[in-house]
Structure 1
Amino acid sequence: MSETNKALVRRYYAEATTGLAGIEQVVSATFVDHHFPPGLPPGPAGVRQFFQAIGGGFSDMKIEHDFMLAEGDKVDCHFTFVARHTGEFAGIQPKGNLVRLPAISTFRVEGGKLAEAWEIFDSGSLFQQMRA
């Protein structure tokens, strides 16, 4: 089960960086990411809205997986978000800077799909890199 759940998280990030065409197979209809801004709908629609907003500010996005830990219905993913700041994001005009944002996500799996997520990352570092 642990390896299956880890593969599901890898697929989530692959979907997030390649257009989200198969996101319905990855997240539940009630999926909630507790990091997403308020007002986004649950499920695939909210995931699409969030990553479309990210895609408006960044290009060449990729996720570098450092390591994952899985226990029961939870998966912790330590990764680095790498992208080029090519569009306005959080009110910051683009300079084309390459940004690297280490982060940790915890996912809860239910019924073979991702049901919940929580993230920890240093947004101050992201904003510094965007302004450099």
Structure 2
Amino acid sequence: MKKITLLLAIILTSTSTSFAQKNNIEKDIKMYTQVWDDIINKGEIDKINTTYFDTNITAITSPENIVGIEDFKAFYQNYLTGFSNVTFTIIDVFGQGDKIVKHWNFKGKHTGDFFGIPATDKMVDIDGVTLVKMKKGKISQEQDFLDNMVFLSQLGLVSYPENINTIDSLYKSFAIGDIPSVLAAMDSEIVWNEAEGNSYADGNPYIGPDAVINGVFARIGADHEYFKLKDIELHEMSNDQVLATLRYDAKYKNDNAYNAQVAHLWTLKDGKIIAFQQYVDTKKLADAENK
């Protein structure tokens, strides 16, 4: 009988403890989500205080952590001064014991100083995850995880890492006459400009792939016996641009050949080419075309 009583006591104690822990974490999650909604979406930065945060609140960052209410507040003030039209959404949140995990999305326009970065007027839309530790009902530690390369790319500070490969593939497709693949790399509203003074610049700007193929590619094919791109070198630039330096090795059907130094400036967005600008010695092209 004593053993049964002891067993029941253990079960009841365990059940009571589990219930209390569940109740506490649900309370913590409710407070946590409301506080961050107020801070980011409503701009109530003063909610970072000892009512909701531990005195030694710590943001795990590199190269060193942010520790303490005032430094933690100053850190997140950058988001409020750096971005306008902000929408911060907690997509999912769950917890156990003293730990909370949140999956979030941040949208905004970079219109102010952000950690010393001047406004770029770029829109950002980034997902991330935050690991949280609670202490006696207060937020005591946070660590954010997000794709910083995507974030910086959206700000226009670094280029999307696949841009070089996109342009390289385009040149390779052009070399073998695979024009459908060339056009597939272009945005439906691509803005294409031939160099001023080039005879094909009469249609500038060409808007959309159909305009490019009819106004430029078809005319090159009709006018030339051959048209080759040689010595192509690709240079990654900021703001999602790629500079290509190369040479045109070509021959008009009037039997006049030319070899000209060229530069192509490509602008991309989300892996698609949205703009093209050609730079070339147009006199050399014109002399060969009109002899």
The CA deviation string for residues 31-84 of structure 1, in whole angstroms up to 9 with x for no partner, is 101137737441x21221011222232122231111011111000000001111
> Is residue 59 of structure 2 the alignment partner of residue 33 of structure 1?
yes
Q: 1:92 to 1:22 in 2, by over 3 A?
A: closer
Q: Spell out the pairing of 1:1-132 with structure 2 (5 A cutoff).
A: 1-17=24-40, 18-24=43-49, 25-35=51-61, 38=64, 40-42=66-68, 44-89=69-114, 92-131=117-156
> Higher mean Cα deviation, 89-98 or 15-24?
89-98
Listed as ranges, the gaps of 5+ residues in structure 2 are 1-23, 157-238, 240-291
Structure with bigger RCO (C-alpha 8 Å, 6+ apart):
1
Where does structure 1 differ by over 4 angstroms across 4 or more consecutive aligned residues? none
Once the 2 structures are TM-superposed, how far is the Cα of residue 119 of structure 1 from its aligned partner? Answer: 1.1
The verdict on how the C-alpha distance between 1:90 and 1:124 changes in structure 2, with shifts beyond 3 A counting, is farther
Q: For the Cα contact (< 8 Å) 1:15–1:23, is it kept in 2?
A: no
Q: What RMSD, in angstroms, separates the aligned Cα atoms of the two structures?
A: 2.1
* Count of aligned pairs: 131
TM-score normalized by structure 2? 0.41
Q: Which runs of 5+ in 1 are unaligned?
A: none
Deviations 1:85-106, CA, capped at 9 Å, x for gaps: 1124355442322211101001
26-35 vs 1-10, greater mean Cα deviation: 1-10
Secondary structure in 2 matching 1:95: coil
Seen in structure 2, the aligned counterparts of structure 1 residues 4 and 39 have a Cα distance that, compared at 3 Å, is closer
One-letter amino acid matched to 2:102: C
Q: Whose radius of gyration is greater, 1 or 2? A: 2
Cα deviation, residue 13, structure 1:
1.4
Structure with greater helix percent = 2
2:78·2:115 contact (CA, 8 Å) conserved in 1?
no
- Answer yes or no: is the 8 Å Cα contact 2:45–2:77 preserved in 1: no
Q: Is the 8 A contact 1:109 1:115 kept in 2?
A: yes
Give, in whole Å, the separation in 2 of the partners of 1:56 and 1:21.
Answer: 14
Aligned partners of 1:90, 1:66: CA distance in 2, in Å? 26
- Whole-Å separation in 2 of the counterparts to 1:59 and 1:121: 20
TM-score where L is the length of structure 1: 0.85
Contact residue 99 and residue 133 of structure 2 kept, 8 A: yes
Q: Is the 8 A contact 2:86 2:106 kept in 1?
A: yes
